[in-house]
A = this chain, B = another copy of it.
């Protein structure tokens, strides 16, 4: 049996522990829940007019499939342009690949799975734009 004094002490200790744990978790993330110090790899494609919707889908599926083949990809997201501003210059598909650091990007770029994907992409690619950056606020 513990005294109420001990129970109070343990409760306070637990609250302090949980608070510290929760705030240390928050320190790694920005208010939107995204980790800081991520290396972003923004890839934008304009496809050939001669490429069919099925061709484009094959490219999208190929890119999406890289995450399972290259563990250095920390996260992957993708979407098609829906900006009302008309400043996309014919580019329609945007891929946001995130790496932990440049070392992981160095594994990704020459990776056989990435190269195989580029072979699928090439016949349908009108133009690609790639911008990488360290995510800062």
Interfacial residues of chain A within 72-107, with CB under 8 A of chain B in the complex: 74-85, 87-89, 91, 94, 96, 98, 102
Interface size bracket, A side: 35 or more
A104 to chain B, nearest CB (A): 13
Candidates B4, B109, B131; contact of A91 at CB < 8 Å = B131
1/0 contact trace for A17-58 toward B, CB 8 Å? Answer: 010000000000111111100001110100000000000000
Residues of A within 8 A of B (CB): 1-4, 7, 14, 18, 29-35, 40-42, 44, 64, 74-85, 87-89, 91, 94, 96, 98, 102, 109, 128-137
- Say whether B96 contacts A130, CB under 8 Å: no
Chain B residues within 8 Å of A109, by CB: 84-85
Chain B residues within 8 Å of A136, by CB: 77-79
> What residue of chain B has the Cβ atom nearest to residue A133's Cβ?
B79
A63 to chain B, nearest CB (A): 11
- Say whether A129 contacts B34, CB under 8 Å: no
A106 to chain B, nearest CB (A): 9
Q: Can you show 30 pairs from A to B with CB atoms below 8 A apart?
A: A2-B2, A2-B7, A7-B7, A14-B14, A29-B33, A31-B75, A32-B35, A32-B98, A33-B34, A34-B77, A40-B94, A42-B42, A42-B44, A42-B94, A42-B96, A44-B129, A64-B137, A77-B135, A78-B135, A79-B135, A81-B131, A82-B133, A85-B130, A87-B128, A87-B129, A87-B130, A88-B130, A91-B131, A94-B131, A96-B96
